[in-house]
A and B are shown apart, each in its own frame.
Chain A
């Protein structure tokens, strides 16, 4: 096996059994945007726009650094944006303009 094969073979979220710090079992209070993100996921799935499995693949496709550093719903929302761009439902420009509009509210 080459030095880099494991990067291809092991998805960034497949970390079972790897050395790690003890699991911190704490409750998280969800932010309002995180609840909306979850609702958005349900709507996208219900309308057969993005299914759960596509979302999982979309998260994996973010790569190890983003999967490791982004929070749970940050991973979802970035994955959704990428998938919607790929499907031609949304363009990067449209999203950028909307984000700017909301920032200026």
Chain B
């Protein structure tokens, strides 16, 4: 690929957003994911009842953001990754769920808590 020079008018179009390492979303809408099972202490934003549950990416939340588990300790800067709106069926969360099989929960989860399945 030809690299635009600094004064090339097309440069802004091609390079208007330069992503830092890890800033490009790792997951895309429709992909199946599992919320990781881990046990942080002190502060976390993923409730215990959702750990290990499977769902699908409904949306990538833009722009990339600082991990709010870091923000909890007053750190507002640092590496940025995306939050994803994850759709999880209620029957996946509560095995005895008696409502419609189409019912689901939506939650925004930071990238470091998700794995592709």
Do A and B interact? yes
Asked if B71 CB lies within 8 Å of chain A CBs, one says yes
Verify if B20 is at the interface (C-beta below 8 Å from A). no
B69 to chain A, nearest CB (A): 8
Among A8, A9, A14, A53: residue with most chain B CB under 10 A: A53
Beyond A48-B76, A53-B68, A54-B71, whether A60 also contacts B43 by CB under 8 A is yes
Contact B43–A56 (Cβ < 8 Å): yes
- What are the interface flags for A11-27 relative to B under an 8 Å C-beta threshold, 1 for contact and 0 otherwise? 10010110000000000
Q: Are B44 and A11 in contact (CB under 8 A)?
A: yes
- A residues neighboring B (CB under 8 Å): 8-11, 14, 16-17, 48, 51-54, 56-57, 60-61, 87
User: Could you show 27 A-B contacts with beta carbons less than 8 Å apart?
Assistant: A8-B41, A9-B48, A11-B44, A14-B44, A14-B47, A14-B48, A16-B47, A16-B49, A17-B48, A17-B49, A51-B71, A51-B74, A51-B76, A52-B71, A53-B43, A53-B68, A53-B69, A53-B71, A54-B71, A54-B74, A56-B72, A57-B43, A57-B73, A60-B42, A60-B43, A61-B42, A87-B74
